[in-house]
Each structure stands twice: as C-alpha cells, then as structure tokens.
C-alpha cells in the first residue's frame, strides 16, 4: 500500500471514532510529516524502522524544547497509532491505541548536537526553563537557516548567520534579539567541537538602537475586573486568586511563584522568604491580608493533600505547576474576563503594575528594589518612565495593602 491508501485508512478510522475535527487535524498533520520524512529518504511506502527513528527524534526534540509531559505523551500516542495503521492494524486495535507541535526538520545528527549542547547549559546550572528557552531559540535559528544536517552546518558563513538573525527579528520574532546569546553559545560550541571550521559566534554581536519600550501595566478598570471576578465558585478560581494576589502584592515573578515552597511561608512572622531565580537575590516580603487570606484558603481547601514540597500544584494530580502552567492559567482567565484587548499582558504585568504604583506613592527607591528583588538600581528606570494615566492605578486600595505591610514598618 502507498501513503495515499494509508491516509484514507487513517481517515476512515478517525471518522468512525467520531473524533473532533481539531483532533483529526493533529493526526493527519503528523501523518503528513511522517510521509514527508519518508519521501525525503526515498521511501515510497512506510518503513517501520524509519518510522520508529523519526518518532523518537520528534519526541526528543519536543522534550528539548520544553513541552509538557502531557503533550509528549499525547504526541507519542498519536505516532504509535499512525505506525499501527502502517502495520495494517484493525479498527479495534487502532481504537485501543487512541489518545502536537511543529517539528524542525533536522536529522538525528543535529539533534545529537542539541542534546550535547543542552548538557553544557545544564552544567552551568541554568534553570530548566531557561535552558528550554535557549534550545527553542537555537531551533528557530536552524529552521530559518534551513539547516537540516551536518553538511548544512558546514555551509554556514558569517554573512548567512547575520542574514538569518536579521530575517528572524524583522519577520518572525522581533524579540529574538534577547535570545542571541543562546545562538552565540551554540555556534561557539559547534566551533569548539569542530562541527564548523570558523567561530561564527562573533557574527551574532549585532547592534540595535537602544529603545526603552513602554512597560505594560493594567489600567484600573481592567485590574478591578480581574480581581473582582476572582470568587470562590470553583477550586480553579480559588487557586488563581492566590496566584494573582501573590503576583500583585509581592511582585514575585512567575518562575518564583512556581518555585515557591510551603517552607518559604512563615505564618507566625507573616512573611515570605525566597531566593529569586533570575537574580539569585534572597528577599523577605510581608504576608499581608491581601495575600494571606486567599493563600490560606487555597492551601487549606484546594491544594491536594498528597502534594508535597511546592505551594502551587495541579489540583488533580498534586504535581508542581511550572512557570508555563501558571502563565497559561492566568492568560486563560485574563482572556475570559477582559477579552483580547490585553492579549500581550502576562502575569509579569502584575509585577510591573506594583513597581509603578510604588513609585507613584513616592516610596524610597531602595525599598522598591528590595520588594522587587532587583540586583541594581538601573532596573527601576522603566517604572519611572510609565505614563501618568497608568500610574493612576496607585489609588487602588489593593496597592495600599503593600504600603501598609510590615516591610514598610522597617
């Protein structure tokens, strides 16, 4: 049988199961990728050995790129069911196997360089999410450069590297400039390990005009909507209320919310003590009523009893929530309450809102730095440049809780 015949068979099985169009799309998209990969190796019909290699390569790439265990498991199941169709399985067998993402078209050799490069990042004791972000940046670079194998790597030149970076920043990802360090480190690693003959990392030192973007702050009406709709009608909202209040009233970053441990909370002293992931600065913040009440309700009524070290866990499984999980929870809630108007405003916007409000209240800059955990004073300049309309936020009673907190008493 050829690929068209297998595709028809897969489609008939999916239709027979009554799966949603979006689910069928996932299956057919992976089928098309498998077919394309086979044909690139001159297979005119499915080859089980190659299919297995391709599936393992895909799953390894997804794991390197930081995809969740759930996504990896689902992709693995889809690939297994497609390979079962290639093996002429029955509908019943396919049914038993049932239950996504763009695959950079690179060979196993390139994957191996990425795996080894990732190990060097781990040796530098970088956070897992930072490592995953760096690997994704490298994959984007390789995709834009059309690097699919080791031969393509050797064809890279200084001119082509610069051209690729400029192309990415102008058409695909303007913020890619922030990730050039990852590409630079990868190119340097390739040179050190003799995959390329010249050190192309030097080509990544591009200069761009230094502009200070206007920081995104929630205007009063939007912030009031976000807060007022956090009722106790569901476990998810109770958890989200604790997360949002902590982000707004303590200024903790998303990664630090994800890493927050039960032992970081001093209920007797009414403080939270954490070492910030980004700056490695240890800070102690007041646990005011605005944070303590929703946090206590979540811990006592919602957090699974079998959850262990970390404060914020999956309500069903008790597993630790990642920074991405927390960001996704906030974005989903934000879109439901505010629509698409504030699409670019992530949970970090709550931290920025706090910083700007503290400036508007004319708090001492050293105190603000202590609250936000910045390692140097220049990091505060952005908050001082926020426009007056946004700074009217500081009239909210919510921010008053921070200003009346124990940290202010010192």
CATH number for the domain running over 220-409? 1.10.443.10
**What average pLDDT does the segment 343-361 reach?**
65
Q: Give the angle subtended at the CA of 203 by the CAs of 178 and 123, to the nearest 5°.
A: 60
Handedness of CA 410, 268, 315, 126 (dihedral sign): positive
**Residue 111 — pLDDT band, cuts 50, 70, 90?**
confident
pLDDT band for position 396 (50/70/90)?
very low
Question: Would you say residue 302 has pLDDT above 60?
Answer: yes
Evaluated on CA atoms 64, 67, 68, 71, the torsion sign reads negative
Task: Judge contact between 61 and 139, C-beta under 8 A.
Answer: yes
> What are the strands, taking DSSP E only, across 267-348?
271-275, 282-286
% of the chain surpassing 90 pLDDT: 12
Domain residue limits, the chain? 3-97, 108-204, 220-409
Could you tell me the pLDDT band of residue 242, with boundaries at 50, 70 and 90? very high
Show the tokens assigned to 154.
Answer: 């050797």
Most confident of 227-231, 262-266, 320-324, 406-410: 262-266
Q: How confident is the model at residue 59 (pLDDT cuts 50, 70, 90)?
A: confident
pLDDT reported for residue 18: 60
**Domain spanning 108-204: CATH 3.30.530:** no
């Amino acid at each position: 049988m050829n690929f068209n015949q297998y595709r028809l068979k897969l489609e008939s099985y999916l239709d027979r199961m009554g799966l949603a169009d979006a689910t069928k799309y996932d299956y057919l998209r992976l089928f098309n990728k498998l077919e394309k990969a086979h044909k690139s190796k001159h297979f005119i019909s499915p080859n089980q050995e190659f299919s297995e290699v391709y599936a393992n390569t895909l799953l390894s790439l997804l794991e390197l790129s930081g995809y969740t265990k759930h996504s990896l498991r689902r992709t693995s199941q889809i690939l297994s069911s497609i390979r079962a169709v290639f093996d002429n399985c029955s509908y019943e067998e396919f049914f038993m196997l049932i239950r996504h993402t763009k695959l950079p078209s690179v060979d196993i050799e390139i994957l191996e360089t990425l795996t080894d490069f990732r190990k060097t990042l781990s040796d530098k004791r970088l956070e897992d999410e930072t490592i995953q972000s760096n690997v994704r940046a490298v994959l984007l670079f390789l995709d834009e450069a059309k690097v699919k194998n080791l031969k393509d790597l050797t064809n890279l030149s200084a001119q082509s590297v610069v051209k690729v970076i400029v192309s990415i920043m102008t058409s695909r990802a303007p913020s890619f400039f922030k990730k050039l360090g990852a590409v630079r480190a990868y190119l340097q690693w390739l040179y050190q390990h003799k995959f390329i003959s010249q050190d192309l990392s030097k080509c990544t030192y591009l200069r761009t005009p230094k502009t200070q973007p206007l920081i995104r702050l929630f205007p009063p009406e939007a912030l009031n909507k976000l807060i007022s709709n956090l009722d106790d009608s569901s476990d998810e909202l109770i958890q989200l209320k604790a997360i949002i209040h902590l982000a707004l009233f303590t200024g903790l970053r998303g990664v630090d919310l994800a890493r927050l441990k039960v032992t970081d909370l001093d209920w007797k002293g009414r403080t939270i003590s954490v070492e910030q992931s980004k700056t490695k600065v240890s800070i102690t913040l007041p646990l005011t009523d605005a944070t303590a009440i929703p946090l206590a309700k979540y811990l006592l009524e919602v957090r699974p009893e079998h959850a262990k070290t970390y404060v914020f866990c999956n309500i069903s499984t008790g597993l630790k929530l990642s920074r991405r999980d927390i960001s996704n929870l906030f974005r989903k809630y934000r879109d439901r309450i505010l629509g698409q108007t504030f699409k670019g405003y992530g949970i970090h916007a709550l931290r920025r809102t706090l910083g700007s409000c503290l400036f508007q209240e004319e708090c001492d800059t050293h105190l603000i730095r202590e609250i936000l955990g910045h390692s140097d004073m220049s990091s505060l300049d952005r908050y001082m440049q926020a426009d007056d309309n946004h700074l009217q936020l500081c009239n909210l009673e919510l921010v008053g809780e921070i200003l009346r907190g124990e940290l202010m008493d010192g």
